[in-house]
Amino acid sequence: MSRTETAAPRSLYATAARQSVTKLSPRLLLRNPVLFVTAIVAAMTTLLALRDLVAGTGGGVTIQISLWLWITVLFANFAEALAEGRGKARADSLRTTGQETRVKRLASADAEHGSAESVSSTELRKGQFVLVDAGDLIPTDGEAVAGVASVNESAITGESAPVIREAGGDRSSVTGGTTIVSDWLVFKVTAEPGKSFLDKMIALVEGAERQKTPNEIALSILLTGLTLIFLFVVVTLQPFALYSGTSIPVVFLAALFVTLIPTTIGGLLSAIGIAGMDRLVKANVIAKSGRAVEAAGDVDVLLLDKTGTITFGNRMADGFLPTQGVSEKRLAQAAWLASQADDTPEGKSIVELATRVLGDDIPRIAIKEHVAFSAQTRLSGVDVEHGTTIRKGAVDAIVKHTGTEPNPILIGNIENIARSGGTPLLVSQDSQILGVIHLKDIIKPGVRERFAELRAMGVRTVMITGDNPLTAAAIAAEAGVDDFMAEATPEAKLERIRDEQAQGRLVAMCGDGSNDAPALAQADVGVAMNSGTPAAKEAGNLIDLDSDPTKLIEIVMVGKQLLISRGALTTFSIANDAAKYFAILPALFLGAYPGLATLNVMGLSSPESAILSAVIFNALVIVALIPLALRGVRYAPASASALLRNNLLIYGLGGLVVPFIGIKAIDLIVGALNLA
């Protein structure tokens, strides 16, 4: 991915330049009323210039005005093409991962590996079974039904660290375009050709066919309205001029009209929206619609599924609490021995925690026999030398095994663990209970701090879980969410979102399971984890390739940055137009009304120079603002009044001042060239 990203910019500009010409098609220009009107005026001035040339009446100024009007349209098209090209560059790099390849198809999930049939990946159909070994490319989306393997998903997520995919559980989903690093998998194809997650990603990141958001539509209506107002203003200037005993050339009126209508924001509007989606792609989030990106900027409430989203989803060892008279190290040694043959996530976490506690004091004891966990005994452990038995298991199972009741201190620890939402696991040696292991659903690192950031941005977080209220309250307190919803069913999640929306709030939902799909579909912003089920990814309108629930902070910031960027550039554009109006009109009517000389603060040399300088400035300012439109205005959490004040001071005042400076500088250059 990095090679593509570093190599892309050079070719990107050339492609965008070609696209800016292609986008002169009236059908494409019609999507942007301001640019469409500008193109019509440019065509009209071109005809006037040709007429003057044929008639032999000069037309040098008309030709220059016509040329700069076309350049204005091309620069606006270039901004949009450049924004689209950044997304398409990502799509092209993704497309290379989906090339046709040979795969091993099985007749059924339990077929022998030796019976695999070699076929083209294009022949795979939904419901068929595929065997992938180390080094193989996973050709399409599927669900693992056998085996366990390490998978490199960097082609999709950009993350180089391999992930484990295995049959059953939440890690069974495999994605086309990823590669098996080690071991093997048999997976069931879940997507028809051309409809895999990779295919959808390619279509989504290109963004060329994205629909306009409600705010963008409202802004388009505003710009259209301003265009009609300035059309009326310009049309009425000629009667005033005739009444005053003078006349304004039609080409001047046409050029004045284009410089007054909001061409700056009109030309950059699409680029701002596309760039917002592109910034999400850089954050490893795929947006299915521009609406979701924009809605993220106004989110009031975030609902998060607990398991796999806020927590890792597996119970893990969090601490050793020895009974009276037993040291922590002795309890850790026994737990370490009892978990040697336990391949469950819980067992591995006990070994890891015990290793950290023991350091160099790892027990050197010969193990005679491993005792596997069974549903009947609810115990596991080892038999070691001298007939010693070490077991770990549920509280009642260990009490029954040892025939010993826990002392009051140990009972207190057990009750505290249960109240906190954890699971107590007793450890015994022969008939003695050594202590308890605290198993808990571990909160993902950094979650609490990230939720605090969301709170500062005005977003309220709500954890949704199927746990009982006691467990839910404990995890909610540790995670730092503002509210929680316990014993939640899919119907209850859906109802909660509808209730929040009925109160006028915009709701975002993060989830990864099939039971989250209805809520993800109902939410204004549905963020599905890439590690989640196909149903969740289908229901969400944003897909987080890193499966990081705290990514919503970046999503919200990109959404707010998009809204602020659009507002800032709109403020600049409108102020810009007002400044140009008062800068140019005095120069146009100076001959008829000499008293206007006091208003000609820029001292523009002539009406021709004033109009030409304004047209040139109008084109160049679009180019100057392209980097800002693509990068976005920097967002820092602040109140609406503070943001408005900054907009007016920086972009409003800047929009008033810059045209005076720019037009005067261009007027001096134009005057010098004419003298030369």
Least confident of 8-17, 215-224, 535-544: 8-17
| 27-38 residue pLDDT tens | 888 878 888 888
Closest among 450, 426, 424 to 438, alpha carbons compared: 424
**Cβ pair 635, 562 in contact under 8 A:** no
Evaluate the CA torsion angle 241, 242, 246, 251 in order and state its sign.
positive
* SS3 of residue 272 by DSSP: helix
Q: In which band, very low, low, confident or very high, does the pLDDT at 548 lie, cut at 50, 70 and 90?
A: confident
pLDDT above 70 (res 375)? no
Q: What are the two backbone dihedrals, phi and then psi, of residue 423, each rounded to the nearest 5 degrees?
A: -120, 120
pLDDT at 402 over 60: yes
Binding residues for ATP: 342, 346, 373-380, 392
- pLDDT at position 320 is 93
Closest CA to 139 of 195, 100, 105: 100
Q: In what order do the strands lie in the sheet with 483-485?
A: 285-287, 542-544, 525-529, 507-511, 301-305, 460-464, 483-485
Please indicate whether the domains covering 285-310+444-545 and 314-442 agree at the CATH topology level. Answer: no
CB atoms under 10 Å from CB of 21, counted, come to 12
Catalytic residues: 305
pLDDT of residue 308: 63
Binding residues: 342, 346, 373-380, 392, 512, 516
Once rounded to an integer, what is the mean pLDDT over residues 193-203?
Answer: 63
Q: Report how far apart, in Å, the C-alpha atoms of 267 and of each of 271, 337, 650 are.
A: 8, 69, 21
Taking residues 608-623, what's their average pLDDT?
86
Q: Which of 356-370, 512-526, 597-611, 655-669 has the lowest mean pLDDT?
A: 597-611
What pLDDT, on the 0 to 100 scale, is given for residue 7? Answer: 38
57 φ/ψ angles, rounded to the nearest 5 degrees: -100, 25
Give the pairing type, strands 163-166 and 432-443.
unpaired
Give the model's confidence band at 88: pLDDT under 50 very low, under 70 low, under 90 confident, else very high. low
pLDDT tens, residue by residue, 101-123: 777 888 777 766 667 788 877 77
Share of the chain above pLDDT 70, in %: 83
Annotate 423-438 with three-state secondary structure: EEEEEEECCEEEEEEE
Most trustworthy range by pLDDT among 11-25, 387-401, 407-421, 588-602: 387-401
Q: How confident is the model at residue 53 (pLDDT cuts 50, 70, 90)?
A: confident
What band does 2 get if pLDDT is binned at 50, 70 and 90?
A: very low
Q: Work out whether strand 179-189 and strand 285-287 pair parallel, antiparallel, or are unpaired.
A: unpaired
List, for residues 442-457, the tens digit of each pLDDT value.
787 778 888 888 888 7
Band of pLDDT at residue 94, cut at 50, 70 and 90: low
Considering the segment(s) 314-442 as one domain, its CATH architecture is 3-Layer(aba) Sandwich (3.40)
Burial annotation 117-139 (CB, 10 A radius, 16+ → b, else e): eeeebeebeeebbbbbeeebbbb
pTM for this one? 0.61
> What pLDDT does 5 receive?
38
| The amino acid at 404 | T
Q: Give the residue ranges of the annotated binding site for Mg(2+).
A: 512, 516
Strand 117-120 relative to strand 102-106, pairing: antiparallel
What is the rounded CA–CA span in Å between residue 308 and residue 169? 11
pLDDT (tens digit, 9 = 90+) per residue, 322-349?
Answer: 998 899 999 999 999 988 877 777 888 8
pLDDT at 1: 36
Cα 378 to Cα 388: distance, rounded to the nearest angstrom: 19
Whole-Å CA distances, 283 to 279, 298, 354, 445: 6, 19, 37, 19
Q: Where residue 253 falls among pLDDT bands split at 50, 70, 90?
A: confident
Q: Which helix (H) or strand (E) holds 273?
A: helix 263-282
Lowest model confidence (mean pLDDT) among 113-127, 217-231, 266-280, 634-648:
634-648
Task: Return the closest-CA partner of residue 165 out of 144, 186, 183.
Answer: 144
Return the SS3 of 225.
Answer: helix
pLDDT in tens, 346-370: 888 899 899 999 988 888 787 888 8
Assign domain 102-138+141-190 to a CATH class: mainly beta
pLDDT band at 3 (very low <50, low <70, confident <90, very high): very low
Q: How far is it, in rounded angstroms, from Cα 315 to Cα 76?
A: 55
Give me the pLDDT at residue 523, please.
86
Q: Which single residue is written with the structure tokens 């705010």?
A: 215
pLDDT for residue 93 is more than 50: yes
DSSP 650: I
Residue 198 structure tokens = 């990779």
Q: Where are the domains of the chain?
A: 10-89+204-281+557-673, 102-138+141-190, 285-310+444-545, 314-442
Residue pair 220/33 in contact (Cβ under 8 Å)? The answer is yes
Residue 391: per-residue pLDDT: 92
- Asked if 492 and 465 count as a contact pair (C-beta separation under 8 A), the reply is no
Provide the pLDDT confidence category of residue 482 given band limits of 50, 70 and 90: very high
For residue 85 the two structure tokens come to: 């090209």
Stretch 591-615: mean pLDDT: 76
Q: What are the two backbone dihedrals, phi and then psi, of residue 278, each rounded to the nearest 5 degrees?
A: -65, -35
558 touches 280 (CB < 8 A): yes
CA 296 to chain centre: 9
- Tell me the C-alpha distance between 132 and 135, whole Å: 8
| pLDDT(4) > 70 | no
- pLDDT for 312 beyond 50: yes
Distance CA 62, CA 53 (A): 10
Q: How far apart are CA 400 and CA 306, in angstroms?
A: 34
Please report the sign of the dihedral spanned by the C-alpha atoms of residue 526, residue 527, residue 532, residue 534: positive
What is the chain's mean pLDDT, rounded? 79
pLDDT in tens, 571-598: 888 888 888 877 777 777 766 677 666 7
Separation between Cα atoms, residue 618 and residue 72, nearest integer Å: 7
In angstroms, the Cα distances linking 141 to 168, 186, 503, 547 are: 16, 12, 39, 17
The architecture of the domain spanning 285-310+444-545 is: 3-Layer(aba) Sandwich (3.40)
Q: How confident is the model at residue 140 (pLDDT cuts 50, 70, 90)?
A: confident
